[in-house]
Chains A and B, each alone.
Chain A
Amino acid sequence: MKGLIDFVKAFDYRDLIKGAAVTLRHFFKRNVTVQYPKAKLTPFPRFRGRLTLLKDEAGEDKCICCMACVRACPTGVISITAGKKEGRKMRFPEEYNFNMDRCIFCGMCVEACNFDAILLNEEYELAQYSRQDFKFHKEKMYLPTPKVDYKK
């Protein structure tokens, strides 16, 4: 008798129809995906992208080489050589080297900076073909990441 009831119950497809109704309903909904290389999303303002050096209104470096970022970095990717310049009371970064190879984008350096001299920008396409391109020197730090023409 139990076997008969189970057999009849096996034809009760309500559970599957309910599930199929959900998928069917979604068929007419708007897409949520973005076709990435053609369309791009903008990150939120706090997004942690590549490290950049900032300049003040006069075009001078805001950095005064207090080495707070160097000490705060967990992976040790920043190294600074301080220099003196005529007409500037504070030291300025003669060399500011940033090795993106090992950067974990945690933002500890920006948090440690007392002079708002560095920033993690909103770039997220950071891939490069050569390992050397991940080593950022002072001049490269101000510029956006060079665009890579992807080989097919």
Chain B
Amino acid sequence: MFKSEIIELNMGPQHPSTHGVLRLKLKLDGETIVDLDPEIGYLHRGVEKLAENFTYLQALNLTDRLDYVAAVSNNLGYIETLEKLGGVEVPRKAKYFRTLMTELGRLSSHLLWLATHALDIGAMTVFLYAFREREFILDMFEMVTGGRLLTTTFRYGGLKEDIPEGFERLVRDFIKIFPDRMADYEALLTKNRIWMKRTKQVGVISAEDAISLGLSGPVVRGSGVRFDVRKAEPYEAYGELDWDMAVQDGCDTYARYLVRLEEMRQSLRIVEQALDGMPEGEFRAKVPKVLKLPKGEVYHTIEAPKGELGYYLISDGKGTGPYRLKVRGPSFVNLQGLKPMVKGHMVADVVAVIGTLDVVLGEVDR
């Protein structure tokens, strides 16, 4: 009597909640999602190919534009890859400062995630509060590097310039105010009934599935997997500082929300310790002005705010630029978790799950 059929719905690429130009082809049975197909490539710029025509230093500009909300982490991963191949010893001061900057970058990335995630689900207030604190961090970036979003910071062998005067005071101010602000976000969200209903048991993925899909970062730690590159293979000053890995067993969106909040608290701890223990001395090792790397291949990963960020670099030993650069973007891999997470949920939950995966399309499409 009644005819029922599966309808196809296009979400994006101009949908405000897909955080960029992500297009989702949803197959719906009523309002339940039967199948889903993410369509990517709308922001493809050929970053990896472009890097082949650039020098090592120029290619640093491209890494800014991968995950543009956490450019510092991308810079660090790339520069460390070069240093691993070049075999240069970085001064301790540079190591500590890099750790500090990367953690500030993680805070700013997580703040943006919290803001937009809450906005997608319907909590407008957190958006405004989180952006206020993010602005504070961007001011610090501007002070150190001159850029707010595209930082292009760090250089082969250390830092570009010494730490500016007044920076320490700014960070100390931030350390002082931030725990209170965190309490505000938590008061608005953590025990809020609407927030819990929209996030608990939404986007569930088991630890086995998460690992076999190659997910990383807060997404996999929200499923109870104890894996963090900063702990597994400590780089920079992470091995010397005292901090804890944030892990939750909930496997759902709410658990990942708690993981990221805890990470923000831990990041603040790292920032404080790195600032207290900042050694004196040189900020850049003695390196030639024109960078040439020996022939070889190298792969290096760091823990970016979104997950495990890897760079695979081949140098032919002759040129002044990369022969081949491959980026393992965490957002790209984490996006694969979208399909198993939203199957069987409602259309409105897709928005929550995209938010919890925290994908940045600049990194997905590259």
Contact = CB atoms under 8 A, between A and B. Distances in A.
Contacts of B144: 46
A32 interface: yes
Count chain A CB atoms within 10 A of each CB in B135, B144, B164, B187 and give the residue with the most: B187
A107 to B, nearest CB: 6
Given A19-B192, A47-B146, A72 B187 contact: no
Given A43-B142, A46-B145, A104-B61, A18 B191 contact: yes
B160 interface: yes
Count chain B CB atoms within 10 A of each CB in A23, A43, A74 and give the residue with the most: A74
Nearest to B62: A74
Given A74-B54, A106-B150, A106-B152, A47 B142 contact: yes
Interface string A5-30: 00000000011101101110010000
A19 B187 CA distance: 5
Dominant secondary structure at the B interface? helix
Contacts of B193: 15-16
Interface string A69-86: 000101000000000000
Count chain B CB atoms within 10 A of each CB in A19, A43, A74, A104 and give the residue with the most: A19
Interface in B46-82: 54, 57-58, 61
B61 A46 contact: no
Given A72-B57, A105-B147, A15 B192 contact: yes
Nearest to B136: A32
B142 A74 contact: no
Interface in B143-160: 143-147, 150, 152, 160
Given A32-B132, A72-B57, A111-B160, A19 B188 contact: yes
Given A104-B61, A106-B150, A107-B152, A46 B164 contact: yes
A22 B184 contact: yes
B209 interface: no
B161 interface: yes
Contacts of B152: 106-107
Contacts of A74: 54, 58, 61
Nearest to B140: A44
Interface residues of B, number: 27
A66 interface: no
Interface in A107-131: 107-108, 111, 120
A48 interface: yes
B143 to A, nearest CB: 4
Interface in B169-207: 184, 187-189, 191-193
B14 interface: no
Contacts of B125: 19, 22-23
Contacts of A104: 61, 150
Contacts of B189: 19
Contact of A22 (B147, B164, B187): B187
A51 to B, nearest CB: 13
A72 B192 contact: no
A108 B192 contact: no
Contacts of B142: 43-44, 46-47
B57 A120 contact: no
Contacts of A48: 146-147
A14 B189 CA distance: 12
Contacts of B184: 22, 26
B160 to A, nearest CB: 7
Contact of A21 (B58, B147, B187, B192): B187
Given A18-B187, A106-B61, 4 more contacts: A19-B187, A23-B188, A74-B54, A106-B152
9 contacts: A18-B187, A19-B187, A19-B188, A45-B164, A46-B143, A46-B144, A74-B58, A104-B61, A111-B160
Interface of A: 14-16, 18-19, 21-23, 26, 32, 43-48, 72, 74, 104-108, 111, 120
Q: A-B pairs with the 9 shortest C-beta distances?
A: A46-B146, A48-B146, A74-B58, A15-B191, A44-B143, A19-B188, A18-B187, A106-B61, A22-B187
